[in-house]
Structure 1
Amino acid sequence: MEFTFKLDESSSQTKLQQLIHAINEAISNGTLKEGDFLPSVNKLSRNSGLSRDTIFKAYTTLKQRSVIASTPTKGYFVSNESFKVMMLLDDFSAFKEQLYGSFRNALPENYSVDLLFHHYNTAVFEQLILNSLGRYSMYVVMNIHNERLEPVLTKIDSNKLLILDMGRPDSPDIAYIVQDFKQAFYRCLEEGSEQIAKYEEFNLVFPESTPHPKITVEVFKRFCEQHQFKYELVSKIKNKNIGKGQAYLVIKDEDLVHIIKQCKKKGLKPGEDVGIISYNDSPMKEIVGSGITVISVDFEAMGKQVAHFVESKQKIFETLPSRLIMRGSL
């Protein structure tokens, strides 16, 4: 089937971006296969109304990306059936590395992945999305907020977009694999309530700057009040005097490190004198001391599911269950 192109005058993309996107799309959906020839610059110009200069620039860009190649006698052709994926994560951490490694290992070799980070900066997020339009066959995006999606995401074809980790979409057209920060979180606390009850007070270390969903605080308070546990919300762990009989639920790993250091300095034993629960598992937390108890989804499984979506193009709508993994620190 010969490639054809129709310009969308209402699109926010330039003519050049639209043509590049259309060719990438034709390759990703199988309309164009490895070795298939594209129309000549003159022919595509006649049929589409695009200028020869625009078409030549598009073909040159795609050659630079190794999507197409050319020969002096036959023209431009698809060089290989490669699929380019954009994975936009919030920031780098140990469990994100585990997620990405699982995702990349589960993809076929002809898929390439650009890994980017937005660091919860809305302007950076928007610019990365806008710059990516028409350049990728699939998009995997960690949203900035848990409560809503960023409006710029509507510019991505919903068939190519997967929302990851936070921000379940309202639209039934957008695929997602996200965490449940409410009911599943409460259930995990309930599972550990007997161990938590050993301690005189239960503290949630929740820095004001953390992007972690604020619903966590509400669930934590409700749990403590229903069980009549003495509790405290700690925004700055360095201002807290860590002592015997305290238990901590920690969101950020740097706060976890501070607590462990203080325990060591004061001769307090995690799991006996001080209880520790950390959010989000990583291989290191399995082996630190006698192990750090965690509330976490399975990030390796999440990565594999993301890879399945990217390869199969079949939409997935799943809220992954958090688990309480009991180790020596509680």
Structure 2
Amino acid sequence: MSPSTSIPSTNVFEIGNCITTLIKVEPKLCNRNNNNNNNSSPPKPLLICSPLEAGVFPVLLFLHGYLLYNSFYSLLLQHIASHGFVVVAPQLYSIAGADANEEIKITAKITNWLALGLGQLLPPNVEPNLAKLGLAGHSRGGKVAFALALSKSSTTSLKFSALIGIDPVDGTDMGKQTPPPVLTYTPHSFNLDSTAVLVVGSGLGEVRRNPFFHPCAPKGVNHEDFYNECCKPAYYFVAKDYGHLDMLDDDTKGIRGKITYCLCKNGESRGAMRRFVGGILVAFLKAYLEGDSRELVSIREGHHDMLPLQLQRLEFQV
């Protein structure tokens, strides 16, 4: 465990009052051999970010983007956890094809495992409140999150009260979906049983970085299409002048980490987008997991003066 520092603050766009710790968890061999006797071992490697202080905290399951590592989101996870949440970020795969069905199934297994093993991995006197459970995903992870919430391929024993797509993408080409398709292109068609939804988009996600690569969040399969199919309650924020990977850590190590600076159209720096994504997630989770909507309403009504960037679009259905 490696503690992080925190700056006392009530502003959701800044680090919160809780000191946090990052916990890396590897599945034990018995799990990989399909031995289910050890319930404390998760189905996949995990990066857990938890408050260190004693308490009972809501839980957010966070899914990484296509071919990315969960560690690339360490600063974002710490931002969220510092406001009083336990964040669980599995490494769903290292290499994957176009079909996301296996990711949906393994995310369902991880969700069901939370009730069996998560509490045993947290710091002393920290308890997860799985009655207040959120599901978030970035890019392809956003597609997987929506697919699981819509019960495509798999179902879970736990119920999600909040669903978040961070620049979600339902395809790898211009307007072309990958299996299983999530978007139906019918307005308000997502049947999510009144689960509250937040969709965050990047203004530069649909812009090519150069003529040789497709946009990272192309029109026809991106955040706008996801929001159009949501039913209320739903929120939609698009960050102007920031790109599809700008919520990652500044220092993303290794070849894949370096590539994150090359494939997508980026903003000037990642800090502002990371603070915005972290803050808007915290405001949304506080509203729909904890019943405190003050920050979210302030942002929605345009009265929040601490936004770290300019919004290109803001819509909501409540």
Q: TM-score, normalised by structure 2?
A: 0.37
Which entry has the higher C-alpha Rg, 1 or 2? 1
